[in-house]
Structure 1
């Protein structure tokens, strides 16, 4: 946004700065011309002349619009005006919240100054897009033009992590998270042809089998949607490189993945008894934040350490103090027996722990047998691969949890995240960049209490940027998520909100008008806040071009996936033209 440029390039004239309301450097009102209109989220620009200096360009976003009759006194006069018996003028006015002042001389616009609807380079300057070296398309604005994220605040260069909040089933949090991933991978901003090696994603699927078909084209994809993707600099299609993991079926000794709709391309994941003991995974059996408040957690850590010392690998399981254990149930029964024996209790739990505390631990451990027996195995030790490892997987790794009970889901999330984070620490490099998509974040990292999972997520939020781990967390209520995780999110996204939740201070970054609009937002509409832009941007993202449920899944076009990736690489320069959006009947969920 260069001061002193031709005003015609800024866009069509829509009005003048209002003279009956105070104008400040940060907010002002615009009287709208009779033959024009302004709507919420429109971008405008005006100019202030200064003596002996270049003119100041003041750009902003419309945050409120009103209309009123001028020349009337009483409320009932509206009927007389409508009948034509009382003269009056209808006047619309729009409140503008300043986004950029160039040069940075903070003076108010002059009443009567011409106001333009910003377009082209003027719009890009008003929203700081011209200062972004690498842009990631995230959807369309209300004016139909493309909106962008600054990649520097997503990949860890200057910031990292994304927090997405909204009502379940209405805010389309998962849809936006997957679209953002698709845009990151296919826009060319993270390395073009080398993106597959430089960027990876780990997605935990917790609701149905909707995310198991990311590598299948959406059968509802039409020419209009394809054209929307093209205007964003993307080619519509499925994710070209996906690997799906699912837990083994309960009671199935063959380790068959527990999925019903996807019959091919799914691997089972589990942990052997030896890995469970040697890698000290027992604390993740007690991964509820409330568990850490109990005294029996002392027993957990004592048993974990002793088990790691004495457990020896044995074919089909482990041997502990000469006892062969072939299943998780055998291990649980053995530990309970040792803890109930006066002669061995102190060796396993510590001499200072009382019997009541030991019994509390034993009760919860026994209760875990049903939930974890199919995940911790002694009968599948020779099967490979059986562990989730994104470094050896596809560009997108989907871990299916929807068939697992809550305790098992916590165990899988905690252990998998710990393993991935430790691998990144040992590698000592931020490449490849790993995006972790985790829904129901308030369950895994609640504001109160502590747990092994919460500690891992805090580590990712606070140190993941330097190690190349980026968290994309989604939750219904950001107010119930650990503060430090939300505070470390450079990008904050809000969809449809519950009225009580919208009043929480966690949404203070939303202007009052946007906070009110979040109560009414339709599916597919998101408010996105990023550090460089002082006002959150209202965007609509296109309908997913990959299958979002089994009924939408077309056959995976393996022969064309490479051509799709190559075509996307040709869109290295992201289009900055606008249009499109998402309709109510196109929302996947």
Structure 2
């Protein structure tokens, strides 16, 4: 028997409707937004609802009356000759009815707290509702003796396809713990595919902050007993990722272990020695079809830069025998000269070639653009590695944290294109059914400010709109959801909202979220998220433990 905490109150100004109702409760009863309550309804059915707002009211008609009642403003506790009658009343959003009866609940009906089974039924989390279960965290419902902890298990088909795909995770830096929640979900997914053997899945992560993801196959020795117990209750082993390979950008600096990374050179050497790390490079002969990615951050509304790229790709003179980056720059330089000064003449204007040269020369200065690949030192081409070696259960972690913004864009674009091309046309018979692409700082590639002609934006739009059917799943993360391209976030079936600021929640992206929940978003704690998913009957406030892999204090 669950505790009765009040009765439905339907008044002339606040009637019950098919979507919401109100109930009064004792002013000492502690309730919170997102708590679930139940009411007995017609035909012995039960209506469940989620608390949206809590009000306190007394019989004082005005604040002036309250002031007078306290002996004209005496703040002493003993002051006043009148005890005001007071109570709380609560607004509840209806989530479901056990017999699909959606007439308004009636005045005077008892309102009760819920047990664990009730909560699952209210949110669509019962065993009959959830097929293909995937653990996404847990709910902490009620306070005091009535407190309940409920595991949240979603239908993975609404996150990983085919019914819905992609997740967008937002929140301010640091306090929202965006990467931590992403990795918690991804670790749960790896465990699911490892144990069920129904489908195959591979993972591609980009490390964009310090050493953040450069030790995800090493255990987190700082987890305490309480956190270990949470993992046990959720049914997920508190273990790091398995089958991980790290990819570092090449550098000529031998002191830094020939990589551009915030990782300790000794750690890189140890990973390389254990066949857990490789260095990646881009040589010209493998990148001819990807030259447009060098211009991803350039506004080319007139299409002049695109014309230069197409001219080179088609092997028009003088680019027909180019085989390395330095030669490319030399030939572009020839095109920047007028005919009178001995330059090459073609249908593209000299001024366009000059702009193209500035963009390309700036982009390929990095050591990662090399002349050849040295197999003996573990140097690889990322596109080839994905096309030939990305297998079931594998986690590729690609470090781009220390690269400049243009080079980061080139690396990301190359990888996204390689995954897309492999899914579309590879002849391999062991391509994973699902490939999950995790990208942090999505605003760099798919914000409203990115040039509309950006090839990386076009690639992301393709993945967002067609990835579900191809088995390419996007896990995207950014600070401000409102800054992201509508077609990218609009195609994400699941949204996770972490702590953010008042300015952000005032944007149109949050207008469907009740005001109380919006305000809660400005004070969520690390380890807390508000989740929206098609399989859920309401927004839920979930919690999750710290990652089970090694973390560095400052990333």
TM class, shorter-chain normalised?
0.7 to 0.9
Q: Are the counterparts in 2 of residues 434 and 470 from structure 1 also a CA contact under 8 Å? A: yes
CA displacement 1:466-507 (0-9 Å, x = unmatched):
111000111122222111111100001111122222111122
C-alpha deviation, 1:395, in angstroms = 2.0
Shift in CA distance, 36/499, structure 1 to aligned 2, threshold 3 Å: closer
- 2:448 is aligned with 1:447: yes
Partner Cα distance (1:214, 1:241) in 2: 10
Q: Are the counterparts in 1 of residues 122 and 537 from structure 2 also a CA contact under 8 Å? A: no
1:75 pairs with one of 66, 84, 98: 66
2:4 pairs with one of 13, 26, 35: 13
C-alpha deviation, 1:294, in angstroms = 5.5
C-alpha deviation, 1:110, in angstroms = 1.0
Shift in CA distance, 92/249, structure 1 to aligned 2, threshold 3 Å: same
Shift in CA distance, 193/136, structure 1 to aligned 2, threshold 3 Å: closer
Partner Cα distance (2:110, 2:381) in 1: 63
Partner Cα distance (1:254, 1:38) in 2: 55
Query: Is the partner of 1:306 in helix, strand or coil?
Result: coil
Specify the alignment match of 2:134 in structure 1. Answer: 136
Specify the alignment match of 2:368 in structure 1. Answer: 375
Q: Give the superposed CA RMSD.
A: 2.7
- Normalised to the residue count of structure 2, the TM-score between the two structures is 0.86
Partner Cα distance (1:286, 1:65) in 2: 53
2:381 pairs with one of 377, 380, 387: 387
CA displacement 1:171-199 (0-9 Å, x = unmatched):
1111111111012222x3x462538x711
Q: Are the counterparts in 1 of residues 292 and 309 from structure 2 also a CA contact under 8 Å? A: yes
Shift in CA distance, 289/484, structure 1 to aligned 2, threshold 3 Å: farther
Range with bigger deviation, 210-219 or 281-290: 281-290
- 2:152 is aligned with 1:154: no
Specify the alignment match of 1:361 in structure 2. Answer: 356
2:251 pairs with one of 249, 252, 265: 249
C-alpha deviation, 1:341, in angstroms = 6.4
Shift in CA distance, 70/305, structure 1 to aligned 2, threshold 3 Å: farther
Shift in CA distance, 105/333, structure 1 to aligned 2, threshold 3 Å: same
Q: Are the counterparts in 2 of residues 272 and 381 from structure 1 also a CA contact under 8 Å? A: no
Shift in CA distance, 120/338, structure 1 to aligned 2, threshold 3 Å: same
1:99 pairs with one of 95, 105, 110: 95
Specify the alignment match of 1:22 in structure 2. Answer: 15
C-alpha deviation, 1:272, in angstroms = 2.1
Partner Cα distance (1:36, 1:406) in 2: 53
CA displacement 1:261-293 (0-9 Å, x = unmatched):
23222210112221122xx11111111152455
Q: Are the counterparts in 1 of residues 116 and 150 from structure 2 also a CA contact under 8 Å? A: no
2:111 pairs with one of 109, 115, 122: 115
Shift in CA distance, 218/251, structure 1 to aligned 2, threshold 3 Å: closer
Q: Are the counterparts in 2 of residues 161 and 470 from structure 1 also a CA contact under 8 Å? A: yes
Specify the alignment match of 1:419 in structure 2. Answer: 418
Give the alignment of 1:201-280 within 5 angstroms.
201-250=203-252, 256-259=258-261, 260-261=263-264, 262-263=267-268, 264-265=270-271, 266-277=277-288, 280=289
Range with bigger deviation, 449-458 or 253-262: 253-262
Unaligned runs of 5+ in 1: 1-7, 312-318, 552-587
C-alpha deviation, 1:308, in angstroms = 11
Shift in CA distance, 395/524, structure 1 to aligned 2, threshold 3 Å: same
Specify the alignment match of 2:145 in structure 1. Answer: none
Q: Are the counterparts in 2 of residues 238 and 545 from structure 1 also a CA contact under 8 Å? A: yes
Range with bigger deviation, 336-345 or 519-528: 336-345
Q: Are the counterparts in 2 of residues 253 and 379 from structure 1 also a CA contact under 8 Å? A: no
Shift in CA distance, 75/142, structure 1 to aligned 2, threshold 3 Å: farther
Partner Cα distance (2:352, 2:415) in 1: 29
Partner Cα distance (1:13, 1:205) in 2: 50
Unaligned runs of 5+ in 2: 142-148, 272-276
Partner Cα distance (1:356, 1:109) in 2: 73
Specify the alignment match of 1:48 in structure 2. Answer: 41
CA displacement 1:513-564 (0-9 Å, x = unmatched):
1112112222222111011334311112111111122x6xxxxxxxxxxxxx
Partner Cα distance (1:177, 1:309) in 2: 48
Partner Cα distance (1:289, 1:78) in 2: 68
Q: Count matched residues.
A: 516
Query: Is the partner of 1:213 in helix, strand or coil?
Result: coil
Shift in CA distance, 255/542, structure 1 to aligned 2, threshold 3 Å: closer
Query: Is the partner of 2:304 in helix, strand or coil?
Result: coil
Shift in CA distance, 76/361, structure 1 to aligned 2, threshold 3 Å: same
CA displacement 1:5-55 (0-9 Å, x = unmatched):
xxx3xx322222124432111111121246743211111111212xxxx23
